Amino acid sequence: MIREEEATFAGGCFWCMVHPFDTYPGVKRVVSGYTGGRTVNPTYEEVCSQATGHREAVRITFDPEVISYRQLLDIFWRQIDPTDPDGQFSDRGSSYRTAIYYHSDEQRRQAEASRGELGESGRFGRPVVTEILPAQAFYPAEEYHQDFYQTNPSHYNRYRAGSGRDAFIAVHWNDPRA
């Protein structure tokens, strides 16, 4: 019997958060969307206006028998600058702030432990500020945002490289799979 669980991560631009998770066995789906805000079913334009309180995020459906939540946390940390309280890379503002949205007490415990370990690792010169929050309503983004790295590879690759994300990952993680 295949079990499924969900994980939700806000890591700046959701386009850049799909591909890293999509490539791992055990990940069933990665959906780009919005969470953490006040408006029901917000649009991309509303979220980008910074008026709804939502963050761009990904909701991952995974088989915990194949890939653990802890492994997903490790992948997440390697995609972001966890020390930036004002957005991610070239994307600034509250809708691009990082967060881990936990779906259970066990996910909360693991997220807090992994954040603590990362903070104590000395990898970054500043404190880790990524929030850990209870999962809230998640609204899938418009269809043109889904699997953007596959449907618009040239645009995606230019954006990802130009945003500074890849350079940051290379410097801080030295990991080609990150």
| Positions marked catalytic | 13
Model pLDDT, residue 76: 98
Domain ranges of the chain: 5-173
pLDDT at 1: 62
CATH classification (class only), 5-173: alpha beta
> 134 vs 35, 83, 98, 131, CA distance in Å?
11, 20, 14, 10
DSSP 82: T
Q: What is the pLDDT of residue 174?
A: 76
Q: What is the mean pLDDT of each run of 10 residues along the chain (178 residues)?
A: 90 96 96 97 95 97 98 97 96 97 98 97 94 98 96 94 93 68
State pTM to two decimals: 0.95
List 30's β-bridge partners, or say none. Answer: 60
Res 177: pLDDT: 46
pLDDT at residue 178, as a whole number: 46
Q: Single out the residue of 129, 79, 128, 134 nearest to residue 105, CA to CA.
A: 134
Closest CA to 175 of 123, 116, 117: 123
pLDDT at 175: 57
SS3 at position 42: coil
Token digits of residue 134: 């209870």
